[in-house]
Amino acid sequence: MESVNEVSSMDQVFTMEYGNVTANQHTRDSSGSAQHSRRRVYRLVAVGFGLLCVLQVTLNVSLRLVANLTEGRDQLVCEKDVRKICPQDWLIKSGCSCYFISPDTKNWTESRQDCLDRGADLLIINSREEQALIKAFGHRAWIGLTDREAEGTWRWVDKTPLAASYWIETGEPNGGANENCVEIVVDYNDPVLVWNDLPCNYETRWICESLDSSGSAQHSRRRVYILVAVGFGLLCVLQVTLNVSLRLVANLTEGRDQLVCEKDVRKICPQDWLIKSGCSCYFISPDTKNWTESRQDCLDRGADLVIINSREEQALIKAFGHRAWIGLTDREAEGTWRWVDKTPLTASYWIETGEPNGGANENCVEIIGNYNDPVLAWNDLPCNYETRWICESSLDL
């Protein structure tokens, strides 16, 4: 804004100066047509140079705005590109990774082929934070680590060697030549050390990961370099250059506005939260509390217990794999179910075996992540029951 104000102020100064020159031109007494003509030429030259200076400053400011807006877009383009690559029901984590958790079981080779068919690959774990996040998914599952090519030399599916490892501390890996593929064991009591080697023909779930390259950002930077070169080359065509620059600013601003949701979610959500396409981020608790304490924990995090707005979101939350509180209760009026934001329940996903069935004794709702129906997984419970919980933070733009 400071740069724009600078241009605006210079425009005002130029307008005042031009007005003074014009006024003086009409009030001066000409002693001769030749002298008068020369003065007019001098004034026109002065005005021309003034216009040149103003437009050059405007061009520089516009190019700086283009560069700044492009930089902002490059910071956001990762999420935009991930959204292009990943289906709506994949999980998106801040940091340009999206994950698919399989509902079926296959051996390691078949699991990897399924990921490749989806334009992804078996999961590569790059940090302790990502390892803890993957464990929170709640399923035993194949990851993209194997020593099939050379016994004892563990490599990821992208051929990079294993650096940091998170083997279970009871002697893993222990399978030798018989166990050359790796699973993550989520029900192990350590929060991070949960890797186990298995025979590659063992059948279990799997996790795919899709990563976007930085090609779009590089393309954006190349565009900026070209714009700067073209801008100075067209400096002699001042008005045309100015119009082109302003149009570019408008286009880049529009692009930035389309991406602002992911940027704002990244500002609000900690790095280890899960981010879903659609401007929602989720926190899966590692501990257990009653419903009231669980909600207070979410509020302390600047969020609230999860509100499920669609069948797709219900399936996504169920895929987390845990029994957990959601933000639904009938404590205020028995049988009248409302979300924590006071909106009434419309679409419901109760287990089909008679839920809700607790009457006045069971006024809070959990989702049962390991229930055998892909969507119907709600159960009413006493609110003082202790289980995990899921927080959600949403942006309304």
- Cite the DSSP H helix spans in the chain: 2-27, 33-85, 108-117, 128-135, 215-233, 238-268, 291-300, 311-318
Of residues 303, 311, 259, 277, the one with CA closest to residue 91: 277
Whole-angstrom CA distances from 118 to 122, 137, 288 are 11, 20, 35
Domains identified in the chain and CATH numbers: 2-82+215-266 (no CATH), 97-211 (3.10.100.10), 279-394 (3.10.100.10)
- Indicate whether 27 pLDDT > 60: no
What is the mean predicted confidence (pLDDT) over 67-96?
57
Q: Identify whether 356 is preceded by a cis peptide bond (ω within 30 of 0).
A: yes
Digit-coded pLDDT (tens) for 103-139 = 899 999 999 999 999 889 999 998 888 888 888 887 8
**Rounded mean pLDDT of the chain?**
76
Q: 186 near 140, Cβ under 8 Å? A: yes
Tell me what pLDDT residue 294 has. Answer: 97
Residue 380 to residue 353: CA distance in whole angstroms? 12
Distance of CA 62 to the CA centre of its chain: 29
| Beta pairing class for 274-276 and 304-305 | unpaired
Q: Which residue has the higher pLDDT, 161 or 38?
A: 161
Beta bridge partners of 325: 366, 389
Residue 32's pLDDT band, with cuts at 50, 70 and 90, is: very low
Q: What are residue 162's phi and psi, to 5 degrees?
A: -70, 130
pLDDT, one tens digit per residue, over 282-332 is 899 989 999 999 999 999 988 999 999 999 889 888 888 889 999 999 999
Using one digit for the tens of pLDDT, what is the confidence trace for 319-371?
888 899 999 999 999 999 999 999 999 999 999 888 999 888 999 999 998 88
> Which are the contacts of 321, defined by CB distance < 8 A and separation ≥ 6?
101, 137, 138, 139, 186, 369, 370
- pLDDT of 268: 56
Q: Above 80 in pLDDT, residue 15?
A: no
The residue that leads in pLDDT, 28 or 379, is 379
